[in-house]
Structure 1
C-alpha cells in the first residue's frame, strides 16, 4: 500500500472551485435570479431635526409606473420596470437588467406628518421629504440620575 501525503490546501482549493461552480451563471435557477437584490430599489435615509429625507434609486422607471404611499410610520413604494422588446434577427442578447414588479416598505424611526410630504422624481431618483410630527420634533426625555452613595 502506497503512502500518500495529505495536503489540506489542496482540499481548500477543491472546495473553492466547487463553490465557484455553484455561482456560475448557467447553474443558477431562474427563480434565484428573479429574486435578486436588484429587484428592490436602493434607499438612502437622512434624518434632520425637522424631517426625514428619503431617496430611492429607480432608474428607467416612468413616474406613472410608481405607486408611493406614506403612513405615519412607513413608506411603501411599488412599481414595475417594463422590458422593451426589440425584435432582432441575428445575434445574441445578454442582459443584466432586471424587469418586472417590485415593492419595498421602509419603516421610519419617528412619526411623520404624512399629509405634508413633498416628492420630486428626477433622473431616476425619487426624493421624499417627510416632515416630522410636531410632538416628535420637540420630544425631550428627562433622565433621573441617582447618586451611588
Structure 2
C-alpha cells in the first residue's frame, strides 16, 4: 500500500474530508494476495493470463466463490481441500507445429495459476460443490447447520 500523498503545486496540504486515500476492501484483498510479487509471477507473458479475480459472497446458508477463467476445460482444474485450506490450481500447455516445404515453425505456451483460501470453521467441507460453466468456475461452500443464520423470532414474555 502506498503512503504517497498528492501535493498541490502551491506546496500546501489541504485538509479534506475525502476518503480517496483510504483503501477499499477490494484493494486491500488485492494488496494482500499480490504484495511484493514481481509481475512475472502474477501474469504469464506467453498468454497474457493473469491471476484470476475472485468474487466471494456470503449468504445465510453458504459462501459462493466465483472465478473468471475463460478458455479452459473442466478437466484443467484441480481443486483440493487440506486442513481447511482450499486450493484451486490449473496448468495448461499448448504446442503448435507448422511444417512447409522450406521451413518448420513450432510454438509452445504454458500457463498456470494457484489460488488458496483459508476456509472458516463454519464451512461444511463434506458438501462443497464445484462447477465450470461459460468460463466461470463456481464453488458452493455450504455452512454447517449450527453456523447458519437463523431468522429473527419474537420471544413472548410470560
TM-score range, shorter chain: 0.5 to 0.7
TM-score by length of 2: 0.53
Quote the Cα distance in structure 2 between the aligned partners of 1:59 and 1:110.
31
CA RMSD across the alignment = 3.0
Quote the Cα distance in structure 2 between the aligned partners of 1:61 and 1:101.
11
Counting helix residues as a fraction of each chain, which structure ranks higher?
Answer: 1
Q: Is there any run of 5+ residues in structure 2 with no aligned partner, and where?
A: 1-8, 10-37, 44-48, 101-108, 151-158
The higher-RCO structure (CA 8 Å, 6+ apart) is: 1
One of 20, 40, 55 as aligned partner of 1:44: 55
TM-score by length of 1: 0.55
Q: Quote the residue 1:117 is aligned against.
A: 128
Q: Is there any run of 5+ residues in structure 1 with no aligned partner, and where?
A: 1-8, 10-31, 90-97, 140-149
Q: Which runs of 4+ in 1 moved over 4 A?
A: none
Shift of 1:83: 2.8
* 1:77 matched to 2:88: yes
Counting strand residues as a fraction of each chain, which structure ranks higher?
Answer: 2
Residues 135 and 39 (structure 1 numbering): CA distance in 2 closer, same or farther, change over 3 Å? same
Shift of 1:84: 4.4
SS in 2 for 1:121: strand
Q: Quote the residue 2:153 is aligned against.
A: none
One of 106, 112, 115 as aligned partner of 2:117: 106
Residues 57 and 86 (structure 1 numbering): CA distance in 2 closer, same or farther, change over 3 Å? farther
